[in-house]
Amino acid sequence: MRPADQYPVDHVHGSVQAHDASPSSPARGHRGRLVVGALAATVLGLVPVASADAAGVGLGTTAAYGVLGGSAVTNTGPSTILGDVGVAPGTAVSGFPPGTVTGTIHANDANALQAKADLVTAYDDAASRGSTATISQDLAGRTLVAGVYTAASSLGLSGTLTLDAKGDPDAVFVFQAGSALNVASSSRVRLVNGAQACNVFWKVGSSATIGTASQFTGNVLALTSISLTTGATLDGRALARNGAVTLDTNTIRRSTCATAGDGGSGSPTAPGSPAPGGSPTAPGVGSDDGSSPAPGVGGGSGSGPTTPAGAVLPTATTGGATKGTKGGVASGTVLPGSFDVRYRFEFGTTRRYGRSTATGRLSADGSPRHVRRALRGLKPCTRYHYRLVVVLPSGRRIVGRDRSFRTEGCAARRPRRPSGFAGLPSGPGEDPGRPTHAMPARPDPVRRPAHPMPARPAPARRPGVAGLLVIAAATAGGATPAVASSAPRSPTTVLAAATSARAAPRDTSRVLARVAATRPITGARTVLPVLGTARDAVGHRWSRVLLPGRPNGRSGWIRDRGTRAATTPWAVEIDRRTRRGVVRRLGRVVRRFAVVVGAPATPTPTGRYFVEETVRLAPRAQAGPYAVALSARSSVLQEFDGGPGQIALHGRTGLGGRLGTAVSHGCVRLADADVRWIASRIGPGVRVTVLSGTR
């Protein structure tokens, strides 16, 4: 799995969330203390009342659930629930699939009835807690320490709320809303200095609504109903006593508390082994296991400094690098632990380095974060050393191990590559931005000729299989949606410049995303599948295109100005149930292959996607020989501060996994021969459909 788009190269990517291997483990054992100090006096101008040792709200068997409804649970789109889904006394659970559940669905069975009883107990516990402070209706811009916060009526969030544990991982935050909880679009809850999602509780007196694309944290215990709108994520649980839980393309991670040591050892978590949050290390660039040796702390191995009791020291793991002729991208994994940290990569032609990348920042978190940075201004055919460096607020450095690579451009050693492939300069008379989707006249596993198509016409195929060719007519009434007709080729559009994707085909419509003209790793032109066309009221022509990034499968409208129309005869399908894939050309199957798909806890997301770019990896590189990066993003491995993890079709080098199994972190692994065949023919803009395979 490779991280992320709209992925500017200097970007933080998917993180692995903690997932308790024992769904039945109760959460009642985690205890917290109400923190009272001088800083608390600045919070809302109030001084919280000191309390003795206060426990977290005991959830009992409800702790195993990501979603629990009273009357029904309904889902729209490819939502992912880490944990069980239940309903009681109602019986209706719908929308799975397309939604996925890593645990078990319980519809008014004995397990659901017991969880419902435990939810009533937990709700009453949270509601009966003595108030530390009274809060206003909107929590945006606040920084709160541990305590019990009460709103007489409704409670809202229209921005960022920061919860500061003051270095105490057992700190408990309880919010009591007299009526509704309303979270506006794109709002978030930020945890710092050891705060954990498992210790955040929202008691809601009526219904809770989590707005579009919000990143919300905590266990929501609502008396009536809970609604998560499109693209919202919840690091916690959605637990509704009497009403329904309604989902729409959401991710809910059943939060579990990390077990933090007392510090002093300084030993980092080894990649591929459980981190303090209980999850494996985040995936690496172009792969999905992120394995690399663990570094020492502070530049060496052995004992590190003594840290405050309960604090988790950050770790730094230097990952692989993707390199070009004059630049590259270094990757790694940072576990922030109990601290807000800065990170960068040092690089140079010797182990003295001498140069460094731009600095990134990460908030305190018990989950590993995958990070990348661009290495610029490199010389061709030169070996460079690099390492990941994490800097604590005190200035202390935690250094990952040294790694090295050689840039491309060595004429005698550089393998021959076809013109136009993976963003390389095209030959004379060729357009470097034109997609290279044509089948060569003779099969050649290592060449993919650029457009135009061969002069010899392709044989006729069955109509209506591979895509939609769309033509729109203008009317005086404004934008006219396209009328789709079946065609064996799928239309695409090639961007000549960066553009904005809008919600509707007019210049005044809301901007959904900004799409770059080129891809960040290979420099290849951005090619987007076209779903429809329209003209606006003034005659401007627009195309509705698939967009990369979250939420998966979204589309938007772009102006045709600055774009060039193209088509592709290719299409790819992956079936998660049979764990097999097919490649179609002009509607006819031309290749079948077995695959490794995502494990149940980190499934390959279903839906319609497209190829963003194809990366040729170094010989014997992990996940080699190619990584075909898709517009899909993992529904599980995601970054709180940055973009989500990117799904790719790639090889099994250094990863393994028997073909026909489900063991990856979400990417699709292929046999080397199959991924070479695909990489030599399938270019940017080709549609890739991942099927759930249910009947």
Q: Tens digits of per-residue pLDDT, 196-229? A: 888 999 999 999 999 999 999 999 999 999 999 9
Co-location of 576 and 550 in the same domain: no
Q: Which two tokens stand for residue 485?
A: 């007709």
Cβ pair 187, 160 in contact under 8 A: yes
Predicted confidence at residue 407, as pLDDT, reads 87
Q: Which residue has the higher pLDDT, 653 or 289?
A: 653
φ, ψ at 60 (rounded to 5°): 60, -140
Cα(34)–Cα(49) distance, integer angstroms = 9
Q: Which residue's entry shows tokens 């990143």?
A: 215
CATH number at residue 559: 2.30.30.40
Give the end of a domain, one of 224, 253, 282: 253
Cα(306)–Cα(308) distance, integer angstroms = 7
CATH number at residue 606: 2.40.440.10
Three state DSSP letters for 177-233? ECCCEEECCCCEEEEECCCCHHHEEEEECCCEEECCCCEEEEEEEECCCEEECCCCE
Cα(55)–Cα(57) distance, integer angstroms = 6
How many CA atoms does the CB half-sphere of 27 hold within 13 Å?
A: 34
Q: Which residue has the higher pLDDT, 34 or 581?
A: 581
Q: Which residue has the higher pLDDT, 178 or 449?
A: 178
Q: Is 643 helix (H, G, I), strand (E, B) or coil?
A: coil
Q: How far is CA 413 from the centre of its chain?
A: 37
Q: Which two tokens stand for residue 171?
A: 């700190």
| Strand (E) or helix (H) holding 672 | helix 672-679
600 within some domain:
yes
Co-location of 128 and 27 in the same domain: yes
| Strand (E) or helix (H) holding 388 | strand 383-391
Look at 44-48, 148-152, 422-426, 517-521 and tell me which has the smallest mean pLDDT: 422-426
Q: Which of 332, 338, 327 is nearest to 399 (CA)?
A: 332
Strands in 215-350 per DSSP E: 215-222, 226-228, 233-240, 244-248, 251-253, 315-323, 327-335, 341-348
Look at 85-94, 274-283, 629-638 and tell me which has the smallest mean pLDDT: 274-283
493 within some domain:
yes
Cα(431)–Cα(452) distance, integer angstroms = 10
Co-location of 576 and 562 in the same domain: no
Q: Which two tokens stand for residue 297?
A: 């702390």
Co-location of 166 and 216 in the same domain: yes
Predicted confidence at residue 16, as pLDDT, reads 32
**In sequence order, which residues have a C-beta less than 8 Å from that of residue 377 and are 6 or more positions away?**
326, 327
Co-location of 489 and 636 in the same domain: no
Cα(573)–Cα(610) distance, integer angstroms = 11
Q: How far is CA 455 from the centre of its chain?
A: 43
CA distances from 690 to 9, 484, 598 (A): 26, 22, 12
Cα(688)–Cα(612) distance, integer angstroms = 11
How many CA atoms does the CB half-sphere of 325 hold within 13 Å?
A: 10
Cβ pair 642, 12 in contact under 8 A: yes
Q: Which residue's entry shows tokens 């309904």?
A: 74
- Tell me the per-residue pLDDT of 670-688, one tens digit each, with 9 for 90 and over: 999 999 999 999 889 999 9
Angle made by CA atoms 3, 629, 251, in degrees to the nearest 5 = 50
Look at 47-51, 68-72, 143-147, 395-399 and tell me which has the smallest mean pLDDT: 47-51
118 within some domain:
yes
Q: Is 620 helix (H, G, I), strand (E, B) or coil?
A: coil
Look at 91-100, 452-461, 462-471, 525-534 and tell me which has the smallest mean pLDDT: 462-471
Predicted confidence at residue 420, as pLDDT, reads 30
232 within some domain:
yes
292 within some domain:
no
Strand partners, 365: 337
Co-location of 544 and 672 in the same domain: no
Radius of gyration of the chain (CA): 26
Cα(454)–Cα(444) distance, integer angstroms = 15
Predicted confidence at residue 638, as pLDDT, reads 58
Any idea of the CA torsion for 602, 608, 612, 616, to the nearest 10 degrees?
A: 60
- Confidence band of 234 (pLDDT split at 50, 70, 90): very high
- Confidence band of 580 (pLDDT split at 50, 70, 90): very high
- Confidence band of 363 (pLDDT split at 50, 70, 90): confident
Q: Which of 395, 256, 274 is nearest to 335 (CA)?
A: 274
Q: Which residue's entry shows tokens 């409704």?
A: 154
What is the CB neighbour count within 10 angstroms for residue 469? 16
Please give the residue range of the domain that contains residue 213: 19-253
Co-location of 624 and 489 in the same domain: no
Q: Which residue's entry shows tokens 């004995």?
A: 110
Amino acid sitting at position 64: A
Q: To the nearest whole percent, how much of the chain has pLDDT over 90?
A: 40
What's the chain's length in residues? 695
Co-location of 574 and 561 in the same domain: no
Co-location of 687 and 601 in the same domain: yes
| Strand (E) or helix (H) holding 151 | strand 147-151
Cα(504)–Cα(515) distance, integer angstroms = 16
Strand partners, 383: 406
**In sequence order, which residues have a C-beta less than 8 Å from that of residue 470 and are 6 or more positions away?**
482, 483, 484, 485, 491, 530, 531, 532, 533
Co-location of 563 and 575 in the same domain: no
Q: Which residue's entry shows tokens 């919600």?
A: 503
- The DSSP secondary structure of 409-420, one letter per residue, reads --TTTPPP--TT
Domain count, the chain: 3
Q: Which two tokens stand for residue 635?
A: 């529904």
Amino acid sitting at position 630: L
Q: Which residue has the higher pLDDT, 409 or 336?
A: 336
Look at 236-245, 333-342, 430-439, 514-523 and tell me which has the smallest mean pLDDT: 430-439
- The DSSP secondary structure of 25-86, one letter per residue, reads --STT-EEE----GGGGGSTT--PPP-SEEEPPP-GGGGGEEEEESSEEEEESS-EEESEEE
99 within some domain:
yes
Co-location of 118 and 141 in the same domain: yes
259 within some domain:
no
Q: Which residue has the higher pLDDT, 487 or 410?
A: 410
Cα(649)–Cα(593) distance, integer angstroms = 12
| pTM confidence score | 0.39
Strand partners, 533: 543
Average pLDDT over residues 275-292: 34
| Strand (E) or helix (H) holding 114 | helix 110-128
Give the end of a domain, one of 203, 230, 253: 253
Q: To the nearest whole percent, how much of the chain has pLDDT over 70?
A: 72
Average pLDDT over residues 2-7: 35
Give the end of a domain, one of 568, 601, 619: 568
Look at 29-38, 375-384, 394-403 and tell me which has the smallest mean pLDDT: 29-38
Predicted confidence at residue 232, as pLDDT, reads 92
446 within some domain:
no
Predicted confidence at residue 561, as pLDDT, reads 86
Co-location of 516 and 617 in the same domain: no
**In sequence order, which residues have a C-beta less than 8 Å from that of residue 544 and are 6 or more positions away?**
482, 505, 530, 531, 532, 533, 534, 555, 556, 557
Calculate the average pLDDT of the chain: 75
- Confidence band of 644 (pLDDT split at 50, 70, 90): low
Buried b / exposed e across 432-459, counting CB within 10 Å, b at 16+?
bbbbbbbbeeeeeeebbbbbeeeeeeee
Look at 137-146, 329-338, 494-503, 634-643 and tell me which has the smallest mean pLDDT: 634-643
CA distances from 217 to 157, 252, 649, 691 (A): 12, 10, 32, 30
